């Protein structure tokens, strides 16, 4: 069974700071997803990656397959980035579907 | 292109009742997955449907079931509701199954009294 651990659980930062959220998983995966959930419940898929690095605007996601670790970075953070960020591991169509981390609650203060 | 829609958005039921939730995926998407989100357990995978067949199932009791229709719309059913079934139920659709990018619906918030 895949275990997905996220850190930190909670993070409060000032506007403009560089943010890093970490995700570790225990077994081999086919892909790692990063999701963003705003108050009210809506979830948006930010990235899906299986190797290397992806960038979208101020968001960067990296994954190290050998170390079973992924990071989500936010550059020049803004209060609108305040949300819960969740990583999820896909085991390639196995019986477990997506396994989710507990999420990181990020607050960016102006 | 319209996003994933879920109905109803809110639902209040009492213990012992059953409930059916509906999910309409993005046009052209053939995979629909269902998830349960609670404050204690976070997000948990329920099941995945692709081409009207259940492909994966999470660790939930048999009271939780689902189906997918030929137009890819999906329903999930929970019978004999328990207080612990109170949760946000989310569905997500993707073009193909497995690790493809998932597009989430707004969720159905179920409260069991």
Question: In chain A, which residues have their Cβ closer than 8 Å to the Cβ of B104?
Answer: 35, 42-45
pLDDT tens, position by position, for chain B (113 residues)?
Answer: 789 999 999 999 999 999 999 999 999 999 999 999 999 899 999 999 998 999 888 889 999 999 999 999 999 999 999 999 999 999 999 887 655 788 999 999 999 99
Contact state of B37 with A41 under an 8 Å Cβ cutoff: yes
Q: Is B72 left (phi over 0), alpha (psi -120 to 50) or beta?
A: left
pLDDT digits (tens, 9 = 90+) for A66-91: 999 999 999 999 999 999 999 999 87
The residue to which tokens 């989100």 are assigned: B37
Q: What does the alpha-carbon distance between residue A57 and residue A59 come to, in Å, rounded to a whole number? A: 6
- The DSSP string of B11-46 is EEE-TT--EEEEEEPPTT--EEEEEEEETTTEEEEE
- The answer for A36, left when phi > 0, alpha when psi is -120 to 50, beta otherwise, is beta
CB contact B89 to A (< 8 Å): no
Cα–Cα distances in angstroms (integers) from residue B41 to residues A35, A87, B5, in the given order: 17, 14, 24
Chain A residues near residue B106 by CB distance under 8 angstroms: 41-42
pLDDT tens track for A18-66: 999 999 998 888 889 999 999 877 899 999 998 999 999 999 999 999 9
> Between β-strands A104-109 and A10-14, what pairing exists: parallel, antiparallel or unpaired?
parallel
């Amino acid at each position: 069974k895949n275990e997905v651990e996220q850190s930190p659980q909670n993070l409060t930062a000032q506007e403009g700071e560089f943010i890093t959220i970490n995700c570790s998983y225990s077994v081999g995966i086919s892909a790692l997803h990063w999701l963003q959930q705003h108050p009210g419940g809506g979830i948006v898929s930010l990235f899906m990656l299986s190797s290397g690095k992806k960038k979208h605007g101020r968001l960067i996601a990296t994954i190290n397959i050998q170390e079973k670790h992924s990071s989500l970075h936010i550059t020049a953070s803004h209060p609108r980035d305040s949300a819960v960020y969740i990583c999820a591991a896909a085991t390639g169509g196995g019986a477990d579907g997506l396994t989710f981390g507990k999420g990181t609650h990020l607050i960016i203060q102006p | 292109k319209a996003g994933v829609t879920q109905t109803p958005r809110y639902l209040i039921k009492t213990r012992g009742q059953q409930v059916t939730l509906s999910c309409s995926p993005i046009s052209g998407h053939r995979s629909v997955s269902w998830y349960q989100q609670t404050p204690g357990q976070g997000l948990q995978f329920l099941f995945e449907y692709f081409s009207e067949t259940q492909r994966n199932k999470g660790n939930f009791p048999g009271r939780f079931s689902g189906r997918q229709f030929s137009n890819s719309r999906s329903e999930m059913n929970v019978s004999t509701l328990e207080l612990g079934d109170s949760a946000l139920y989310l569905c997500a659709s993707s073009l193909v199954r497995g690790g493809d990018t998932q597009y989430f619906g707004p969720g159905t918030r179920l409260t069991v009294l």
